[in-house]
Every structure is written in C-alpha cells, then in structure tokens.
Structure 1
Amino acid sequence: MAFPRFSTDLAPLFQLLDDYDTHRTYRPKSKVTPVRTFAPKFDVCEFPDGYRLDGELPGVNQSDIEIEFSDPQTIVIKGHVERNYDNTATETGDDSSSTKSRQPTVEDETEEGNASSAIASPAKPAEQAVTNSPTQTNYKLWVSERSIGEFQRTFAFPTRLDQDAVKASLRNGILSIVVPKEAAPKLKKIRVE
C-alpha cells in the first residue's frame, strides 16, 4: 500500500540522506591528503560591559591568527599552526642508536680448520651519500598528539558588539580577546509639528 501524500512530503529528506551517504562513502583516487583542521578550546565570560574570550593556541605565532567580524554580533577567529622541530638537538646527541650498533661478523673456516673472523663493512646507502637538504627530516615521529593545521572558531553573541574597541593579546599560548558590548541605542523622540 502506498502513501502518496507522505512519500512526496518526505522525498526531500530521503534525497538529503542519500546525498549524505554518497558523499560519505566517496573515496577519491588521488592521494592528496586533506588539510588537517582542529577547533581550539575557548572559555567565554560575560561581564556587564562586554565579553572575554580565552583560547588555547600553543605554538601559534601572532601573525598566523586572524580575528574578524562576519556581522555586528559574530566574531570569527581563524589561523593555522605548523609543526616545527629544532634538529640541532638530535644532530649533536649520541648517535649510538643508528650508526654505532653491533656490526655483523663473518666467520670463514680455512682449509687448515682455523677460524678467522672479519667484520663486514656495511655498504653505504644512497641516502647517506646525498647531503641533507633543509626540507629533509632526520627524525622519526612516534606519536603525533599536537593540534596542527588550520583552525577556526565562530562566536555569536546576543548583543551588538563595539568592533572598534576590541583588544586581543597572545601570551604563553593563550589568546585573550576582550570584546566590549555596544552601548544601547538611545531612544530619540521626534516631535511632530
């Protein structure tokens, strides 16, 4: 038994679900990695004269943060974080784990039964022959828990904001933004003549 009235009313909903399923299961054949994104954590406090936003952004440079207003009541905070490691600590450290490991030995028996031992000299890999370029990494990343990539947070407030008086600072990985409320519009009476 068909329900024509209900099937036409729910058709857009079913189409939306089908589109979502198609998008979710689609895997492009290219090996392009998507841009990593994350949402930094913020505390938002309301005061009688404004709002204060404190967000955790460790490792972010001030030049990598953008703060803008999408409308009179909405503030958008976006930017990016990059992973930078200082390789000087690993270059000057003990290299016992990679080059001074146990060397293989070869024992050959001669005709007279005397065993002679010789240390095999390892062949130089091609990567050692090539000098390290600045973009080549010489470390092995075991765990990656830091938030890196693009970030964006949007905050919508119930009142209009004074966009010209907003102040932001970044200290010790904490982004602090003070957003004053816009003064309530004064009631202006017009006398009819």
Structure 2
Amino acid sequence: MTPHADPAGRILLLRHGETEWSRTGKHTSHTDVPLTDAGRSAARRVRGALAQVRLDGPPARVCCSPRARARDTADLAGLDVDEIDERLVEWDYGDAEGRTTPQIRETLPGWTIWDGPWPGGGETPDEVCARADAVLADARGLLDGGDVVLVGHGHFSRVLTARWIGLPATGGVHFRMDPAGVTVLGFERGVPRLDHVNQRPVEER
C-alpha cells in the first residue's frame, strides 16, 4: 500500500444502451446498429446511476466512441461530450461481426472472444490491451480536475476494467457490463481499485 494522495476524480465507464444486436447476442463492433426503444429508455434512466456514483461538479472530460449507439447514449444520459475518441470503439471481431457465439461455435468449437482465434482481421487481446492502456493513461492524467467519463462498449469496457487493476486483457471475462451499465475505476491510497461494477440504470417508478 502506498501513502500517495488520490486524485480528485475517478474514471467512469458507461456502456451504450441496448441495440437489437446486443439484445440477440450478435457481436457488434464497426456495424452502427441504433438503440432500441428499451435502450433509449435505459440511457435516459442511467442519469440516476451516474448521479449516485459521480463526484460533485462537472466531469473533467467526457470522451465517447464514434459509434452512434454510444453518442446517442451519452446525449440521452445528459452528458456533454468533449471528445470523440476512436480508441473507444468496440473490440474488432473480424469474421465474428454480426454473429452469435453459438453460430461461431458451429465452425470453431468452444470459441470465445477471450480465447480466440480471431480470423478475418479481428483484434487479438494484445492489440486491444495496447489500446486500453493508452486510453487509461490519458484519462488518468486528467483526474486531478475531476471525473473522466468514457462512453463506449461492452467488451472494451471490460478490458479497461481488467487493465485498471493489473489483469491481462483476457481478465475482462471476470466482469459484467450490461447495456447502459456504469463501472467506476477509483483508488485506494494510490492503488487502482474498482469502486463500482455494472451499476444499472435507476428503475422507473
């Protein structure tokens, strides 16, 4: 344990709301599938979840994936996006794009995105890891000014979570990140810590 003072802010990860492909389990990276009505509703309600975990005051920076489903989620959640960051796109699934795990396993028994293989130009865990580390390094440099919010996707947010606490990219398998879920990456006396994982939108009354 180190005696270092913690920065003022933390990193908040927000996954986009439900799409038809996420609802049916299709792997979605570069395909720009719109939010469903349920996804739009959850994105509006995630304001409450963000309010529960956010620090007082505006975020130091809000960065968002360029995909419309992420940008629409940020807008519906009441976030003012400061930067569109190409590095926040979802894991490139290659030939797995648009296919469910059972469909992929018809030709690749036992396949998972964590174990591969990654045919058709899909990213490897090492490639996704390098991207995640760069995002986290930049975000960490802004935390003295307050929270940094990263609006993106499921698998990549799970990799960010794993890398924050020193696990390999494949360690993301241990974390859940539902549509419109929020995860908070914080500190314990300078040591990276998970403050919240998969905080869900506040339910309608």
- When normalised by structure 1's length, the TM-score is 0.23
Whose helix proportion is higher, 1 or 2? 2
Higher strand share: 1
* Greater RCO (Cα-Cα under 8 Å, separation 6 or more): 2
State the TM-score, normalized to the length of structure 2: 0.22
Q: Greater CA radius of gyration, 1 or 2?
A: 1
